Structure 1
Amino acid sequence: MKIKIINLISKKFVLALGFLIAVGNISFAQSLQEEVEMFQAVFGMEKKDMTMAFMDNEGDTAFWMLYDEYEVQRKLLGQKRLQILVNYANTYGVIGDEQTDELMKVVMTQKKSLDKLIDKYYKKIKKSSGSKVAAQFYQLENYILSAIRLEILDSIPFFDEFD
């Protein structure tokens, strides 16, 4: 299961990141917003299928209502993360110290927001579906998120590559 998740995430995010870097001089306009929403919808369906296979709790309606609620909020944060990547691509090679510091503040805030969201839904799921189901949710979300973060970091240049 882990290899299947990594392969799916790797293929999808390498393509998405390549697209974002290729459009580095484009602002986060309506057409790009529509592309992001389409990508999120497709990934969201595939992610839900993976979650169903991993969780094996299809009849737990309380969990799935919370999961869908979580996904709406996660996608909003995902759009912010993509905006950060677009900004990074737009400033690649010309970013100064102050802009780098501002970018890093935004990156750290976004990371904390997503981690807090997962923690919040762990607690809600634990209350409605039990600790084991909540732990599975937490484990899978963090596994997928870690794979995505690794893929992003592997796909973008380091700051020292500017010089």
Structure 2
Amino acid sequence: MGAFVTCVPVMAQDSTAAPRHPEKDIVHSLFGRSREDLFCNYLKVSRGERAIFLEALTQYEAEKDPYIQERIALLKVYNEKYTSLDEPMMNSLTKNIIRNDKEFVALQTRFYRRMINLLGGTRAAMFFQLDNYLELSTRLYIQDDLPFIKELESDRKLAVARMKANIN
């Protein structure tokens, strides 16, 4: 009989001591559980693996955080200045987002090697599958509020309505 082990963070955090991270709040609001719980349950982390896994996850999240914060800041600039962005500023924002993505992938590559040693190849692959899924879910949640996406969605709805009208 297999049992899921719920991971509890090794050290409790005082919510007044440090600011909450938007990505963690988004993950919790989308999935109803913490990232730690999602990872531990999905990867079936055993009691014996829990402490070392949570330490590695905490370190990964800490090293990942600056990339997430930078991406959020870049998207915030885009969102706030959408109507007044000129060509050089748009080019700069795009290059910075691409650079951020490349650096983030380098971090993932480094931690993938560590996760292989910790969890084995299959669960390391599963770790990054879940991490990428949570990352993409968070990005979509954030980008849903960006003007460009709203315009595309409006255009898509109009196209679907026209297509339905032509069919009838």
TM-score by length of 1: 0.67
Match of 1:52 in 2: 40
Q: Which has the higher contact order (CA 8 A, sep 6+)?
A: 1
Query: Percent identity of the aligned residues?
Result: 23
Q: Would you say 1:130 and 2:112 are equivalent positions?
A: no
Following TM superposition, by how much is the alpha carbon of 1:63 offset from its aligned partner in structure 2, in angstroms? 2.6
Residue in 2 aligned with 1:69?
Answer: 59
User: 1:8-157 to 2 correspondence within 5 Å?
Assistant: 37-40=19-22, 43=25, 46-59=34-47, 60=49, 61-157=51-147
Deviations 1:87-140 (A, max 9, x none): 112312000111100000011111122222222211111023211221111111
In structure 2, C-alpha distance between the alignment counterparts of 1:156 and 1:89, rounded to whole Å:
6
* Contact 1:62 1:129 (C-alpha < 8 Å) held by counterparts: no
Q: Partners in 2 of 1:41 and 1:115 — Cα distance?
A: 17
C-alpha root-mean-square deviation of aligned residues, in Å? 2.7
CA displacement at 1:58 relative to structure 2: 3.9
Higher helix share: 1
Within 2, Cα distance between the matches of 1:108 and 1:62? 32
Higher Rg: 2
2:124 and 2:24 mapped to 1: Cα distance? Answer: 24
Instruction: Give the number of equivalent residue pairs.
Output: 127
Amino acid at match of 2:108: I
TM-score, normalised to structure 2's length?
Answer: 0.65
Letter in 2 for 1:133: R
Where structure 1 has 5 or more consecutive residues not aligned to the other structure, the ranges are 1-33
SS at match of 2:34: helix
Cα contact 1:77–1:114 (8 A) shared by 2? yes
Distance in 2 (alpha carbons) for counterparts of 1:38 and 1:142: 21
Separation in structure 2 between the aligned mates of residue 135 and residue 101 of structure 1, nearest angstrom: 34
